[in-house]
A and B are shown apart, each in its own frame.
Chain A
């Protein structure tokens, strides 16, 4: 019995580890789809996300000192800089930075923080979707 545990134990750990990674992994388009289904709940005849609306939203201030572009710059394909601390921020556009919008925990954390900083409130699913649609149009 003891002899068999390490082998199957290791296989079990490996399997659990791999399957957890798969559960958490997602693509930016998965996020867009799930945001779309959220928006449709409140706007049944929703026409779809708009990259143009997203770009405007991204670059304008919403009553506070900062816009999204204050840290992420007007070109989300380049490295940004924290408006207060100057700490470099990796590019936000998924085409340039494949890690972006793939980790649900990080997505939740940063939307909450950044929307509160920029708008003093949470962003709506439509605002998030528009911004993501805009970011997905950026190639360089």
Chain B
């Protein structure tokens, strides 16, 4: 009997382990007007908006940009061209690249993101017409500020960009 109870402890421990792995909290993007998912029934089969490899690999050199900022085709093309990633070699092993590419495509924007310069698919988020219109009230001197340096530097103004939040109330523009 005692032995039985002890064995059940093992069973419980294993079950607890499995359950804890299966229910790692999935982080979902905030309800911003720039995402496609607010109250969206299409998204009933919710896919987590984060992925460890995406965070680690993309985030090694720059902010891990949210998947929802580009359509799936843009991510597919980008992830197939990592050997020359905006002028740098960002190549990954096939398994890692595939996992990240799948994650990005599954969570991509479902809206058309037209390029502002006519080159499709658009690969730079800052070259989408959507990005330009979202930022059309930002003064030229802010873009030129040394704290901003580049439109790719979301966190210069979007103070919670790293955690995926781009809400208006979290914006602090450099003077």
What is A's interface to B at a CB cutoff of 8 Å? 3-4, 6-7, 9-10, 82, 84-87, 105, 109, 112-114, 116-117
A82 surroundings in chain B (CB, below 8 A): 61-62
Which residues of B approach A to under 8 Å, CB–CB? 4, 7, 10-11, 13-14, 17, 60-63, 83, 88-93, 149-150, 152-153
Q: How far is the CA of A84 from the CA of B152 in the complex (A)?
A: 10
B7, B83, B153: the one contacting A85 at CB < 8 Å is B153
Q: Which residues of A contact B83 (CB under 8 A)?
A: 116
How far, in Å, is A85 (CB) from chain B's closest CB? 4
Q: Are A113 and B89 in contact (CB under 8 A)?
A: yes
Chain A residue nearest in CB terms to B4:
A3
Q: In the bound complex, do residue B10 and residue A7 qualify as a contact, i.e. CB atoms below 8 Å apart? A: yes
Give 6 closest A-B pairs by Cβ, nearest first. Answer: A116-B89, A6-B10, A3-B7, A113-B89, A85-B62, A7-B10
Verify B10–A85 contact, CB threshold 8 A: no
Q: List 26 A-B contacts (CB under 8 A).
A: A3-B7, A4-B7, A6-B7, A6-B10, A6-B11, A7-B10, A9-B14, A10-B14, A10-B17, A84-B61, A85-B62, A85-B152, A85-B153, A86-B149, A86-B153, A87-B62, A105-B93, A109-B91, A112-B89, A112-B91, A113-B89, A113-B90, A113-B91, A116-B89, A117-B88, A117-B89
Q: For A6, list chain B residues within 8 Å (CB).
A: 7, 10-11, 13-14
Residue of chain A at shortest CB distance from B3? A3
CA of A105 to CA of B83, assembled, Å: 17
Alpha-carbon separation in the docked complex, A7 to B90 (Å): 43
Q: Is the CB of A113 within 8 A of B93?
A: no
Contacts of A116 in B (CB 8 A): 83, 89
Q: B152: which A residues are within 8 A, CB to CB?
A: 85
Given A3-B7, A6-B11, A85-B150, 16 extra CB contacts under 8 A:
A6-B7, A6-B10, A7-B10, A9-B14, A84-B88, A85-B62, A85-B153, A87-B61, A87-B62, A87-B63, A105-B93, A112-B89, A112-B91, A113-B89, A116-B83, A117-B88
When distances are taken between beta carbons in the complex, the residues of chain A under 8 Å from B93 are 105, 109
In this complex, the member of B60, B90, B149, B153 whose beta carbon has the largest number of chain A beta carbons within 10 angstroms is B60
Among residues of A, the one whose C-beta sits closest to the C-beta of B7 is A3
Do A109 and B11 touch across chains, with their CB atoms under 8 A apart? no
Query: In the assembly, what is the distance between CA of A65 and CA of B29, in Å?
Result: 38
Residues of A within 8 A of B89 (CB): 112-114, 116-117
Report the Cα distance A113→B83, complex, angstroms.
8
- B24 CB to closest chain A CB (Å) equals 17
